[in-house]
Amino acid sequence: MMNKIVVILLLSLLLSAALVGFLTGVSITESGFFSLDKIIKFLVLTLAFLTLLFQRSKFNIPEDIWRYILLGLFILLTLLVHHLFSESTDDFFIFRAQKEIVRLSVMLIIFLLCSTASLKSSDYRILVYSFAAAGLLLGILAVYHSVSGVVDQPWRSVGAYLRAGVGITDGNTVAAILNITSMAALAGYLIEKKLLTKLLFLSFLVIAQAGRFATFSNGALLSIVITIVAASLLLKVYHRKVLKPFLRIFLFIAFLFFVFILGTGIFRTVFYRAMLSDEHVKGASIYSRLDQYEGYVNLIKKEPANLIFGVGTASLPAKLGRDLDLHNSYIRPLAVGGTGAFLSFLFLWWLCLRNFIFSIKAKQVNEIHRTISILFFAGFIGWSFQAATLPSDTSVVQWFFFMFAYVFRRTACQRSGSVVSSVQSNRTIVGSYPGL
């Protein structure tokens, strides 16, 4: 029971920054190291550590977790070295570099603690419930922020609506989190049998997606479309009996949304940014990113050594000549940390992909585990496209997908009697995994 609580608490930290930002109105991007969100993270991490330390069973650290931790530590080391020897004099970018170091450190601690706690397939119901309910709250807050916020600058709004998250946190991250909670709500709808419970999850899903629309994030819109397509294909191949209910609920919700936005006359507003309706939107969505790529190519031409060693978080915007971070989660590790950080990130991404595939294809897992694994894997595929438009290689969304995949695979290995490592070894630093 305690293992279950620990994992859910740790993974719930994905939502803490956005929820705290909306509830307090304080900008998370500018908050200090002793903000409410940081205090919550510290308390949860401390509680999780003490719970695992004093539980009756042995405190087991899986052998295979160290490849993830060491890869993350190498990326963290590149961030630290560049920060210590940074040439940047811009306080804002220096502060942002410090926060990135802290954020990645916290992600690695959460990853390590999650790996020591065992989950049974049946425990994923509680995980789904927790994320779906949190998505309900976050969706409501996002919609409220959009309709009640003060529209003072064109780039912060679409018509009379504020882009949810602007001035508080990153709207693209909020939208990505709501896509994740939407997958949790959808999983809950598919695995539950009672009509009332299904309707509850359906409402969670609708509100989460309403909140996602309120961010007006083009990347998140692309992500959810790709997620739906990927989920349909994966269900057709690996879990065909769930495909028809999945498609029915998707078409029903799509119908509801279109009836609502057409009936209220806000179709053009909702899809204003998606249709690239003016030069400002085109500039923010396309031209600025192309300028960043051009700036990075010029940087490499001017100083080829930066391809090997990187330039660091704080110095990157000035080096690009754009005063913006590089909005591509696959190129950014190369630009910030160099070739080593780039290869480490790609290896972590590949491990995540492999873990999801293993979790889905494992023959002994039950239907609940397979359904949830497929939907979250589809979410990861969709997110991977959105990540190509964001500087999110060290973001909580990216690292929680790494964690989700690892936890899912570990449960699948336990369920099938396999071993939790790439070489099918059942050894751990202390003890061994209990069977399910």
Residue 423: the pLDDT is 42
pLDDT at residue 27 in the model:
79
Q: Which residues contact 150 (CB under 8 A, 6 or more apart)?
A: 162
Least confident of 70-79, 240-249, 347-356, 362-371: 362-371
* Confidence (pLDDT) at 424: 43
Report the chain's terminal Cα–Cα distance, integer Å: 14
> Can you tell me the mean pLDDT for 90-109?
91
The pLDDT assigned to 156 comes to: 78
Q: CA 401 from chain center: how many Å? A: 6
pLDDT of residue 237: 94
With a cut of 50, say whether residue 418 has pLDDT above it: no
Q: Provide φ and ψ at 428, rounded to 5°.
A: -130, 170
Confidence of residue 272 (pLDDT cuts 50, 70, 90): confident
pLDDT per position as a tens digit, 131-149: 999 999 999 999 999 998 8
pLDDT band of residue 415 (cuts 50, 70, 90) is low
Specify whether the CB–CB gap between 347 and 402 falls below 8 A: no
> Does residue 436 carry a pLDDT above 80?
no
Using the structure block, give the residue that is written with the tokens 């940074």. Answer: 86
pLDDT over threshold 60, residue 435? no
Check residues 43 and 13 and name the one with the higher pLDDT: 43
Query: What pLDDT is attached to residue 331?
Result: 95
Give percent of the chain above pLDDT 90: 54
Residues 291-318 have pLDDT tens digits of 999 999 999 999 999 999 999 999 998 8
Q: Which residue has the higher pLDDT, 14 or 393?
A: 393
- Taking alpha carbons only, the member of 139, 185, 184 closest to residue 165 is 139
Report whether pLDDT(422) > 60.
no
Task: Return the SS3 of 161.
Answer: strand
419 pLDDT more than 70: no
pLDDT of residue 49: 84
Q: Please give the pLDDT value at position 222.
A: 95
Instruction: Kindly report which listed range (87-91, 187-191, 278-282) carries the lowest average pLDDT score.
Output: 278-282
What is the band of 324 on the pLDDT scale with cuts at 50, 70, 90? confident
Q: Is 317 exposed, middle or buried (0-12, 13-18, 19+ CB in 10 A)?
A: buried
Sign of CA dihedral 78, 390, 21, 313: positive
Residue 120 has what pLDDT?
61
The pLDDT tens digits of the residues spanning 200-240 come to 999 999 999 999 999 999 999 999 999 999 999 999 999 99
Instruction: Return d(Cα 337, Cα 313) in angstroms, integer.
Output: 8
Q: What is the pLDDT of residue 301?
A: 93
Q: What dihedral angle (degrees, nearest 10) is formed by the CA atoms of 354, 241, 228, 171?
A: -80
Distance CA 142, CA 127 (A): 22
Mean pLDDT of 64-82: 95
* Contact in structure between 399 and 406 (CB atoms under 8 Å): no
Better pLDDT: 100 or 51: 100
Strand partners, 158: 161
Confidence label for 395 from pLDDT (cuts 50, 70 and 90):
very high
pLDDT at 428: 40
Name which residue leads in pLDDT, 340 or 88: 340
For residue 60, report the phi and psi dihedrals to the nearest 5 degrees.
-95, 135
Q: How far is CA 318 from CA 283, 284, 306, 312, in A?
A: 19, 18, 14, 11
Is the pLDDT score of 130 beyond 90? no
What's the chain's average pLDDT?
86
The closest of 115, 113, 57 to 434, measured between CA atoms, is 57
pLDDT over 70 at 39, yes or no: yes
Split at pLDDT 50, 70, 90, the class of 430 is very low
Residue 162 φ/ψ, nearest 5 degrees? -75, 145
* Whole-number Å distance between alpha carbons of 420 and 200: 35
317 and 93 Cβ atoms separated by less than 8 Å: yes
Rounded Cα distance, 276 and 273, in Å? 5
Q: Higher model confidence: residue 422 or residue 10?
A: 10
Higher pLDDT, 360 or 8: 360
